Amino acid sequence: MKDILINENFQGLSVDILKGYVNSLNFYNLQREDVDFINKKLELDNRKSIQNLAIRFMRGYENYNKELKRIEKLYMFDKGFEDFKLIAGVDEVGRGPLAGPIVSAAVILDLDVINKDMILYLNDSKKLTEAKREHLSNIIKSKALAYSISFCSNSDIDEKGIGFCNNEVFKKAVYSLDIKPNLILSDGYTIKGFESPNIAVIKGDAKSASIAAASIIAKVYRDNLMKEQAEIYPHYDFDHNVGYGTRKHIEAIEKYGATSIHRVSFLNNIIGEKHL
């Protein structure tokens, strides 16, 4: 790893080569002594662009450590329920849209991993970029001890109500896990009619690693479903609004009427019966 910086002609290396090298580094694989060594070598270069590269390198390392400490708190929150060995976090997305299903995910993480093996950047899915969510969703699925995804369709919501469906997708997601958890942490709501130990965590996707992980994979799953619907119903901008009531979405309903994936019970007070 250090070979390029040990080179006696270090200052003769091009800026592009050095930038490419530094940008390829993963703090996950670096020890503190490696970071200090690299930073010192960069600082010894008298070129302004390399001096700035050294500053960015150390700033990136500091940000990495801040993120590591933040994630430690999320994992420690879940580990705080020490009487339970297997904890599932469950969260939903899609409670408020005018179209599409409500989706829930349940995730059981390995909470006994050492720091560098924790999943960094877990957070409320709405606070992450689409690309970051997609990337994290794949990592979560590969590292989780178990995960599951469930949904209630728009017709289920119209027939039974959003409150019932919200509770139902929580239950279905937990019941679908390949491993039975000892405790379920649910975001915001205690699961009704549920026999297993359950604790509701307000704003859980910002406090619990397991709930945050569930939030991310549920949102990625639902967003991708709505992108598929955008190809079927191109006028409604589903690939951007994912079913929420944006101006463009409502204007499309007023012009073209409701589709088969719209929640009719959500539309009555917005556009009137003539468009249903």
The DSSP letter of residue 112 is: T
| 150 within 8 A of 177, measured Cβ to Cβ | no
Strands 87-93 and 146-152: unpaired
Q: Which helix (H) or strand (E) holds 200?
A: strand 198-201
Q: Would you say 33 is a known binding-site residue?
A: no
**What's the one-letter identity of residue 16?**
D
* Residue 91 marked in a binding site: yes
CA distance 201 to 188: 5
As beta bridge partners, residue 95 has none
Query: Tell me, what amino acid is at 215?
Result: S
How many angstroms separate the CA atoms of 257 and 271, rounded? Answer: 10
Q: How many other β-carbons are positioned within 10 Å of the β-carbon of residue 137?
A: 22
187 marked ligand binding residue: yes
Provide the annotated binding site for a divalent metal cation: 91-92, 187
Provide the annotated binding site: 91-92, 187
